[in-house]
Structure 1
Amino acid sequence: MTRPVRLPTGHRWVVVDVETSGLRSSTHRVLSLAALALREDGSVERELVTLLNPGCDPGPVHIHNLTPQRLAGAPRFEDVAKDLLDLLDGRTLVAHNASFDYGFLDAEARRAGLTMPTQHRLCTLALSRRLEIDVPNHKLSTLAAHWKVRQNRAHDAYDDALVLTEVFAHSASLAESLRLPLPVVGCIDRRPVYPDRIPRVECLWRNPGRLDLGVGLVQGMKIVISGSTEIPRLSLAARLTDAGLDVMNSFSRQTSVVVCNDRHSLNAKVRRAVAEGIPILSELQLGEMLLHVSPGEPTAAVAPSEVPQPRPATTAASKKPWHGRRVLIVGGSHSDSVLMRSRIVQLGAKPSVNLSAGVTEVLVLDGGELDPRMDRVSARQLPLLTTADVNSALDPAAPPEQVPPVEAVATREPIRPPFQWVAPLLARGEVIDLPPQTTSLTVNASWRAHTTDDAFDVDVVAFLLGEDGRVGCDEDFLFYNSPTSADGTVELSCDGSSEQGVRIELAALHSDYQCLSVSAAIGGDRTFGELGPISVTVDAPDHTIASFVLDAGTSERTMHFAEIYRRAGRWRLRAVGQGYEYDLATLATKCGVTVDD
């Protein structure tokens, strides 16, 4: 590999990559790791590269090729922890999907009774998105090909770390040329290491409601176990599941019965059960009732004829005159910018929230020539548009092309031919069907990158909603202090200072959840009008499914961004963009969350 330009100053960088037995740091383990402490020229100053014996099933061997035999003689994490933490101390961690790598290392350290010394991290995935590099997806292998970095062994921690070092250097150099701040964030991970969770199993029967002691248990009842049990909790849960009961981790409005051996307990679940009149059984009483569980009503399966055919995952945007362009708007009042962004979308172009590598033209409104980014615009020889250019392009009587095609020039990234797949650009309120093969996706929100002293305190949150449009329990509300759902199928990610998202395992999402609402709140006295346009992309692992830009905000402090919801057996996506002037606590309350004062 050839060494690229120097690394950014102001940080001591350490590039990290881990291979793991699964995707959840609370239950899965690190199998191998590579940590490369770098000098400013990108060369390796110190390194730690090792396999790790987790003492458990290594998981997807077909991906990482780490068989039990290969790991048998490897050290355990605690054997290398001191050297690793010493190498990380005082450095900013760089990783591709950094919240994942940091989360696993943090969980391993806490299992060993240690504390991660890392204070800051940078995600090269977030950096690539911020730059809007012209790639179909932001996988490490794709970025390596884009930057012409040789990759010898994908999913090998050491080789991936070497590749990532060069990808990071190239990306950081491009960000510097655009004067885009790097997406460095603080490291705060609040996920529990050993959560007392019962694996959620899909129940085949409808919930008949609360337990009637005169009738007994009925298949489909939702059971919550509270406190210590004579039978190990997981074994008891399995027994209940085998009987056709739906075992929950959290108390909710749909809870049928609470199992607790101490009904005078001050446990929150017991207190709420007493307050709401929900029966409480001891483990002994439960055992007696399990001998006679009445049949339940099966959940109705959607008939194949009722499943709508998917709409084509393309729109008329590909026929619009500015299809494939990215336009940055500078200057103008808030209302003027909102109006012009809507017209740009009508033309098929995508408004850009930053001066990124993907910007093809710049629309200059009143005062825009004073924007501090204009010297970079000039240096990159980007074509300048006026309001008249946009308006005339919308005039059906005007010639088809009012703006000449953008030509590649030596001072900027070459414009490449469009990919075969171009994600539809949705309007606010528009709905599309998700491709039927979609099993996982991320909803990524980004806004203009600000310097540290002018950053906005934005928190992306998620609500897992039932048929009534409300959460079933408080744990169905994911926010900065509780970023992972009880079953791990939904997780918030803070990947950068202006990039946050929600990762969703659609295929594993429980049928109780009919809708996942992705929203956000701004802290302090700031509003979405001050924040400016928000770019939202919905990404499958290999490509972007759809994108949209929300900029209708004025005095709002909270906003619903998007909804992923079920309709007749299929998942659909709605671009929402509905804002409210109240705060996050009020928004959560309206969604059914009990918020402490």
Structure 2
Amino acid sequence: MTAPLGYAVVDTETTGILPGFHHRVAEFAVVHVDHAGSITNEWSTLVNPDRDLGPQAIHGIRAAEVRQAPRFEQFAGDLLELFRGRIVVAHNLQFDSMHLYAEFQRIGVDVSRYLSWGLCTMRLAGSVFPGVQRSLVECCRMVGVDGVRFHTAHGDAVAAARLFGRMLAEAPRLVASRALSPATDLWELPALRRNLAKPVRRRSLARSEPHFLARLVDRVPRDGEPEKDAYLSVLDGALLDRQISVSEADALVEVAHEFGLHKAEVIGVHHDYLRDLARAAWADGVVSEDERQDLKVVAALLGLEASEVDRVLSQEQASPLERPESRAAQVNVGGLVLRPGDRIVLTGSMRRQRNDLKEEAMALGLQVVSSVSKRTRVVAAADPDSLSGKAKVARALGIPVVTEDAFLRALEALR
């Protein structure tokens, strides 16, 4: 019998509990541990599940992070090499192996025999450390494993690996007895193409995306005047929920490039948009504090100084009779406005129960439907960068995708 090289400690973050309900892996990590219990290698990546991300409040993964991540089939070959010759280990192995099996099965690879001989640190913990609780966090706390970022695949895999290392040191014979494999063919995993995509790690909690204006070049040679209406249309839709998602920023950059708008011209369009909002705010002769704060939020999103809000409000107040013909009717003052009869689509696992939101919206005269069409007013999403089929169709049709908070504010305004 071929002796194993060591152990491959794995952890997954998923879009839900059951693969049978089309839940997918959204993050995967493997940590190698040698026979002495030392960590020798770490590997992890976010995974593009090609669907909504499910309970994001639990795993903390945003759709903006997985948009550029590889799909499972793109790193499956690398994963098999990380497993080859090693015993798989996981905290609650049944859960992780269930999702691993399903992902490999989708690409026609059967890893059931390999996974069946894995070790579960959750089960081992009760034998090695009597009285310990089942959760990974509690197990690690009891044995002094700290300094890891729990509830990420990489953090949990490292924590489980360090916990397993303590088990190897405390009860090596017990662990060895559970790790016996009766056949060498369990190590004979298939070989798939490797290095098809680079791993994508989670962003640091302190890291922030640069403003999308930074992605526009300062000057693009072109002939004639730029077309700005398309850009303004995308901009107005993006600002309905008073935030600009990564998907919306990508769309704005794409439209700007398509029409040859360079950075200085886009900033000029942003100034014009803010001025249109200021005109609309003065339409009733009074600018409330809420309206002023709303303009400041928009200015920040557009990369403009807060002082610009006071300047344009002052200018628009001073010369109401000299204002040029206003485009104020084309901008969404205060964000998303819904009217009875509007067709709404909901997507993703929101904080509020889906049925409660649906009943509340319908009681206010809205039509809540299950599919997106050209007649859809907005798609309300748990994550505005959602990869769900509904969100993809909405973007293709130019239908705004707004946050749950923006949707709730619009419902409140309807009362």
Higher RCO (CA-CA < 8 Å; seq separation 6+): 2
Q: Which one has the bigger helix percentage?
A: 2
What's the TM-score, normalizing by structure 2?
0.40
What's the TM-score, normalizing by structure 1?
0.28
Q: Which one has the bigger strand percentage?
A: 1
